[in-house]
Structures are given as structure tokens and as C-alpha cells.
Amino acid sequence: MSTFDILSASGIDRLISSYKSVEQKRKIQPLTTKKSGYEFKDKAYTNLSSKLSSLKTLLDDLKTTGSSSEFKYKKATVSNDDFLTASATSSAGIGSYNIRITQLAKSDVAISKDIDTSSDDANSLGITTGTYEFTIKTGDGSTGEYVSHVKVDLDASDSNEEIMEDIRDAINSDKAVVESDEKSGDYTGGATEFTINVNGTETTISDDGGGTYSDLIDRLVSKINSDVDGVTAEKVDNGGTYQLKITVDNADDYITITNSSGYDIVSDLNIGVTKEKGASGIVTASVYSPTTGTSQFSITSKESGLDYRIKELSDSTGNALDVLGLNLGTSRPSYDQSTDPDTPGFLYADVTDANNQLNAKLTFNGVDVQRNSNTISDLVTGVTFSLKSVMSSSDDEVTVSVANDVEQIKSKIQDFIDKFNDVYKYIKNNSLDDHGTRGPFLGDALATALRTNMTSYAYSEVTGLDSDAINKLSQIGISFTPDGGLSIKDNSTLEDQIKNNIDEVEDLFNSSDGIANKLYDLIDPYVGAGGYLSNYQDSLENNISYLNDRIKSIQKQIDKSADTLRDKYEKMQQQLIEIMAAQSLMSQFSQGFF
């Protein structure tokens, strides 16, 4: 290759490229190789940290004692699930129960008389235009009652069916509202305190007195809206007289208002109520057509059982319930559609304790039991029975057996094995020298110590247990090998120990020196901010950052040297061009002279 070719533009580019390649290989490649090693190790530690965190979370569950222990899982087995199902929580005791269902729980239902709805524009009920108010009371599930005061605007021009639908809609949208008497002039009652109870949460409202009733209501509205959750208070201005109005936000919540101390403002304003609840929270109203041209109105308790029965249906202002035949007060006539005229009343009229048709009734281990609901969770601690069907005398009693949930507990132990092995094998497999490729943990003190201790805990006996108690994993059918880690070697032994010696299996893991506690204490310093792995990774990342800066600096030096070298070559190129031009001129002169 001629000198001219070497010093051509492409030749110079090749020279510079060759120079950079040699310098990078000599100065940068060793740093890049070192950085790759740090990055490889950093990634390995990130993966290890994730695996350790997953194992630590599981160990935190496994070392929990008491009713929340992972070894307390129970399972309820039912001999015939056509009649009932059952479930058990960890608090359930082991046992067996015999059940015969004689009656399912039902909701109380009041049904109106037949109403003629054959004509779209007829109002044969005699309703006049105006606001009607009526009271609905139901049981509260215990010895008390919920009270609803329902208001509905009715129009004389509406048909019978439209009137029934208006009453239905008023019930199904009703929320509890407390309205005070209309007040005006000065308030002279003095300081007072009263309590607002919303669904069991009590709040005391206080006022120092003074000013007018208008001022008082303003102050009460502000304090109630600020301090009481679940209600909205407002001031109603009737043009010179004022009312305090409190509306419960959720129809399922009740409100009770009582005076606490000082002046009896509750009586003064007439806002005292006990378990006032929206009708939509205690009953459901329906309109339906049993035959063409007639409709019926029904009111059904939202909750089943005797203690949630309808206790009163009474008109307060007007005759909205009366026109339906449902102004029954506290009486409970039996509904009868067979007579002429039919008799409005209750579908299940008898509410005597022994004969009532509203409660679930069953014989439980020979004892007669009643409950409001078909879902019974207060009969046996930790066990819920869900009744499905009444049994005949020829049906065998249903047996419900509660025992340790072998599969669930075994699944937790298998999860422990899997997560233990995930850590153990990851360290082991990355501590090898595979055909000259060093694993990131080969010779690493942190990883080696962790693996060694995990091996020791897998083999060792748990201290602090009775001498004849289970104290090793091998005694519950779990083996350990250096190559494979933990595994269930004897499945039948594991299941048998869970079934018959669950307390000893639990102690093996969650006693003070149990496997879960020891492993947790081993792993805890390794993970999280400030842990061994995090600190070591910080050091790795600092080294990586330093090498990145060093590589950039050296590359900049190489680039600068390359630019200087290029300048020299380009000057030599220019000199060569000038020499060659001079030679050409002298050659032409010589040829002309001779």
C-alpha cells in the first residue's frame, strides 16, 4: 500500500479506528470486564433478596402462635350436603355434631287485601290529595325494635295501582329523619349536652346556650355535621319559625337521640327517638297481581326470624295503610285469601316462641335449637352451619365432623419447602465453577454462611421441646439432601402427624426455637434496607459507578489522543500533497527544457 493510500481520508480513518480499538482493548476492556462481574453479582443478589423476602414472609406466618397459627386450620365435613353445609375457622375445636332440621328461617310477611286495579284511572280507595304518614316497627334481632315513620304524597287523580306503587316506593326509599318542633324567639334553656347514637356509635353534642332558637339551631347544625359521622343536619326556615332536621345517610343505620346533662334540649326540641331507622332498611314493599285485574301489596322483613318480625303497622296521618287493609297496629291476623272478602294479615301469624314459623328450628345433638337465620355461627365456636332444606322423619340425621384440615396445613408446609429450596438451590447453583465460568456466589462469604446455616437448621433438632416430642423435620416425613434440599419423603407420615399430632408439628415450627423462628432470625438481617445484602449491593453499585466514570474518562482521553493523531496525519497528508505537486511541476519543466 502506497504512502498516499495510507494518508488518504479513508486511510487516516482506518489508522484512527485501529488506534482506538487497540487503546480500548488495552485500557477499557479490563475495566468493562470487571464492571460486568460486579453487575452479574449485583443481579444475583437482587434475585436472592427477592427469594429471601418471599421466604421471610412465609416464615412470619408459620411462626405465628395462638388462634392465628397456620397450623390451626380446621375443616368441617358434612354427611349429607343436601340439607346443610358447614365451614370451620381456626378457632373451632375438633368434634362431631348430629343435626336434624325441622324448619327453615323465613322473613315475616304482611299481605294486603285484593285491590281492584282493572281500571287505569279509577281511585276506588277513596284517597284524597295530601301527605300521609304511617309507622312501621320491626324487631331489632334482640329484645328491642326499630321504628320507621314513612311519609308519602298521594294524589286523588291517581289509579289504585298508582297509589299502591307510590306507597311502595315511599317505603323502599325511606331513610330515618328526625325533625324538631318549629321554634322561634329567644332560647332561654341554658347549657346542654345530648347524645346522638348512630348504629351504636355515640357522639355527645354540647351547647353553652344563649341567643335565639335560630342561633341555637345554626350552632347545632354546625356541630352535628362536624362531629357526627353518618348523618346530615340542616336548618329548616319556615318563615319565622325554625326546625332542626337530621337525616341518616345510610338507610341501614338507626339513630337514637337522648339528653345527657344540663338543660333537656331533647324534650324542648322534641327530637328524642329510639332506634329510628329508615323503612327501606328494615322491610321491602312489593306490588303484584295474583289475578288479572287485581293487585296486592306486601311488606316483608329484610331479616329472617322471629326477632326481626314486623311488630306494628299503623297509620299516623291519613289512611294510606288502612285502604290496603294493613292498618293493623300491633295485632297479627292471619292472611286468608280463600274467604270473600279475603282477609289481609300475616302469612306467618303465630309468633309464640314454640310455634312460630319464622325461626330456623333444628335438633342439635338431641337439644332443640332456634335461630333467626339459616346461617348459624353462634352455636359452636368457629363453626358456621348453613341450613338448606327441611328433613323428613325418615331422613338420617346429618353428621358434621370438625377435624384438622390436613390438606390446607400440608399445603402450607409444602409452600415452606418450595420457598426454602428456592433460596437454597439458588445459592448452591450460583456457587459453582462451570467450565471456567465462576458463579456469582463462588467464594462469597455472605451467601456461603447463609447456605451453611440453612443446611444446619434442616438437619438439626429443635431444642426446648419434650424429649419424646417431634423435634426434627425427618420425623414428619420431610428429608434433606445437599443436592436437592428439602422434600416430602413420606407423605403418609406427614398426613398422619398433622391429623393426630398437630400440636407437636406446630411446635416444631413455631416454638421459640422452632424452625420457622430460627430461620426467620437467620434471614431477617439479610433483607430490607440496611440489611447485609442491601449494604453489599450498595458497595457493588458504588464500584460499578466508579468504573463507569473511569471508563468514560479513559474513553475521553482516547478520543482526545485520536483527534490529536488525526491532526498530525492530516498535516502529513497536506505536506505529501504539496511534495507531490512540486514533483509534478519539476517533471513538466524538465520535459519542456530537453
Instruction: List the Cα angle 380/142/365 in 5-degree steps.
Output: 25
Query: What is the rounded average pLDDT of the residues 229-239?
Result: 97
Residue 581 pLDDT more than 90?
no
Q: What is the pLDDT of residue 107?
A: 98
Interval 108-122: pLDDT, tens: 999 999 999 988 888
Q: CA 408, CA 414: separation in Å to the nearest integer?
A: 10
Q: What is the pLDDT of residue 397?
A: 97
Interval 448-476: pLDDT, tens: 999 999 999 998 899 999 989 999 999 99
Torsion of CA 532, 533, 539, 541, to 10 degrees: -160
Q: CA 30, CA 551: separation in Å to the nearest integer?
A: 10
Query: What is the rounded average pLDDT of the residues 237-252?
Result: 96
Query: What is the rounded average pLDDT of the residues 206-235?
Result: 97
Fill in the amino acid letter for 250: N
DSSP conformation letters of 529-583? TTSHHHHHHHHHHHHHHHHHHHHHHHHHHHHHHHHHHHHHHHHHHHHHHHHHHHH
Query: What is the rounded average pLDDT of the residues 79-102?
Result: 96
Query: What is the rounded average pLDDT of the residues 364-371?
Result: 97
Interval 276-298: pLDDT, tens: 999 999 999 999 999 899 999 99
Residue, of 470 and 432, whose pLDDT is higher: 470
Q: CA 209, CA 96: separation in Å to the nearest integer?
A: 64
Mean pLDDT of the chain: 91
Q: What is the pTM of this model?
A: 0.77
Q: What is the pLDDT of residue 3?
A: 54
Residue 492 pLDDT more than 60?
yes
Residue 447 pLDDT more than 60?
yes
Q: What is the pLDDT of residue 565?
A: 81
Interval 377-401: pLDDT, tens: 999 999 999 999 999 999 999 999 9
Q: CA 36, CA 339: separation in Å to the nearest integer?
A: 95
Residue 1 pLDDT more than 70?
no
Domain layout of the chain by residue ranges: 62-69+407-528, 76-104+369-401, 107-174+279-346, 181-266
The dihedrals phi and psi of 216, each to the nearest 5 degrees, come to -60, -50
| Number of neighbours of residue 583 by Cβ within 10 angstroms | 10
Q: What is the pLDDT of residue 6?
A: 61
Domain covering 107-174+279-346: architecture: 2-Layer Sandwich (3.30)
Q: CA 319, CA 126: separation in Å to the nearest integer?
A: 9
Residue 584 pLDDT more than 90?
no
Residue 123 pLDDT more than 60?
yes
Q: What is the pLDDT of residue 4?
A: 52
Given a contact cutoff of 8 angstroms between Cβ atoms, the answer to whether 202 and 195 are in contact is yes
Query: Which of 89-98, 390-399, 529-538 is least confident?
Result: 529-538
Q: Which single residue is written with the C-alpha cell 443478589?
A: 45
- Classify the C-alpha dihedral 13-14-15-18 as positive or negative: positive
Residue 25 pLDDT more than 90?
no
Beta-bridge partner residues of 372? none
User: Grid coordinates standing for 390?
Assistant: 327441611
How many CA within 13 A on the CB side of residue 526? 26
Distance of CA 289 to the CA centre of its chain: 43
294-304 and 283-288: which strand pairing?
antiparallel
Phi-psi region of 318 (alpha: psi -120 to 50; beta: other; left: phi over 0): left
Distance of CA 449 to the CA centre of its chain: 39
Q: CA 337, CA 61: separation in Å to the nearest integer?
A: 61
Residue 94 pLDDT more than 70?
yes
Query: What is the rounded average pLDDT of the residues 141-162?
Result: 96
Fill in the amino acid letter for 555: Q
Q: What is the pLDDT of residue 124?
A: 92
The dihedrals phi and psi of 228, each to the nearest 5 degrees, come to -105, 120
Query: Which of 193-202, 350-359, 553-562 is least confident?
Result: 553-562
pLDDT band at residue 591, thresholds of 50, 70 and 90?
low
Residue 221 pLDDT more than 80?
yes
Share of the chain above pLDDT 70, in %: 96
Share of the chain above pLDDT 90, in %: 72
Residue 429 pLDDT more than 60?
yes
Residue 589 pLDDT more than 80?
no
